[in-house]
Structure 1
Amino acid sequence: MSARGSARAKLLDAAAARFYAHGVAGTGIDVITADAGVAKMSLYNNFRSKAELVAAYLERRQQEFLDLHQQRLAALPADAGPGVRVLAVFDAYLEHAEGAADFRGCGLLNAAGELPAGDPGRATVARQKAEVEGLLREALAPREDADALAEHLSLLLEGAMVRGGLDGDPDRLRRARAMAAALVGAE
């Protein structure tokens, strides 16, 4: 990894920890560079602005989820039914939540809630949430009710993330997974 790549990774690691724990607005550039152990100029050599750093953080969080989801899918038998594939989405969310040092809900939704209307970061989060609903829809194919059920499951999943974040406990995700299993006839 180049020095530039190393500084970028350190900055993203520091930003991810701070943004999730203290919020985007509550985290200044100076704190991020200090946590990363890099000069302030390194931040601007890697990101044109704090907004660009936030965008990279949002993309990274989504990629972490997608990687977990892919690992879950890869572990399934080739003949896994739609219900089991749906639960892989819930399981990836749950694994991501359980890996948080101090669970505060969905880092994407938390960040979006801080961003003003029209901010590109909000559109990024909306696209990412649509992508998760698309994964649910794909998992349910070829069911005739795949579109409606994917939307229902997406709302269940995201609601559990929000409520779990407020509780500081991913147990709501576990309960949402059990509800989803009942809805799709899987365990």
Structure 2
Amino acid sequence: MARHPGAAPARERILEAASRLFYAHGMSATGIDAVTAEAGVAKMSLYNNFASKAELVEAYIEARHQEWLALYDQRTATARSPIERVLAVFDAYLDHASLAYEHGFRGCGLLNAAAELPAGDSGRDAVRRHKEQVEQILVADLETAGVADPAGMAEHLSFLLEGAMSRAGLEGRPDRLVTARRMAAAMLDAA
């Protein structure tokens, strides 16, 4: 395929196309031909940038992780207190849910990916590490806020967040995340 002046590099176009398709249809249901067609590249271009579909899946998972971290960083940039930083975790998930998805919101792209991968797969490990990092972010901000038992509260908030994200994905809208954020704020006020 001819490259257009100013077009993104092939690797970036492939990863963006795979991200859209994997999120909308699932990784198993999305073939390499669909990715290359969506990206506007030849199949050889895909394999010049990713050794296999498994490597493309790992890049997708890392990109989703980095996407969430960027949303969280944007939210914490305006947080005025440790409690607002805790709630920024919920806000970043809300921002994720509010992104324009061509085929609708389907929940956490990382959990969706993990559900398709077998136990022991490195992609599932990457998703687990992301979820652990989110919980550690909560612990650190709860410690700074002086909350008693920050690890216990972080675990509660993680469960609240993940449950809300799952329900929001099933329902195709962020309402459950809005409710979860409100519940988290009430728990933090009481702590």
TM-score range, shorter chain: over 0.9
Residue 75 (structure 1) shift: 1.2
Match of 1:174 among 161, 178, 181: 178
Provide the TM-score with structure 1 as the length reference. Answer: 0.93
1:109-148 mapped onto 2 (5 Å cutoff): 109-142=111-144, 143-148=147-152
1:9-158 mapped onto 2 (5 Å cutoff): 9-77=12-80, 80=81, 82-101=82-101, 102-142=104-144, 143-158=147-162
8 A Cα contact 1:54 1:121, kept in partner:
yes
Instruction: Show CA shifts across 1:53-96 (max 9, x none).
Output: 0111111111111011111111123xx1x321110110011001
Q: Which runs of 5+ in 2 are unaligned?
A: 1-5
Equivalent residue letter for 1:95? D
8 A Cα contact 1:83 1:185, kept in partner:
no
Q: Corresponding residue for 2:3?
A: none
Cα distance in structure 2, aligned partners of 1:87 and 1:138: 13
8 A Cα contact 1:58 1:125, kept in partner:
yes
Residue 148 (structure 1) shift: 0.3
Q: Which runs of 5+ in 1 are unaligned?
A: none
User: Where do 4+ consecutive residues of structure 1 move more than 3 Å?
Assistant: none
1:164 aligns with 2:168: yes
Equivalent residue letter for 2:95? E
8 A Cα contact 1:65 1:92, kept in partner:
yes
- What is the aligned-residue RMSD (CA, Å)? 1.4
Residue 100 (structure 1) shift: 3.9
Cα distance in structure 1, aligned partners of 2:139 and 2:29: 36
Percent identity over paired residues: 62
Q: Secondary structure at the match of 2:9?
A: helix
Residue 144 (structure 1) shift: 3.1
Cα distance in structure 2, aligned partners of 1:76 and 1:182: 18
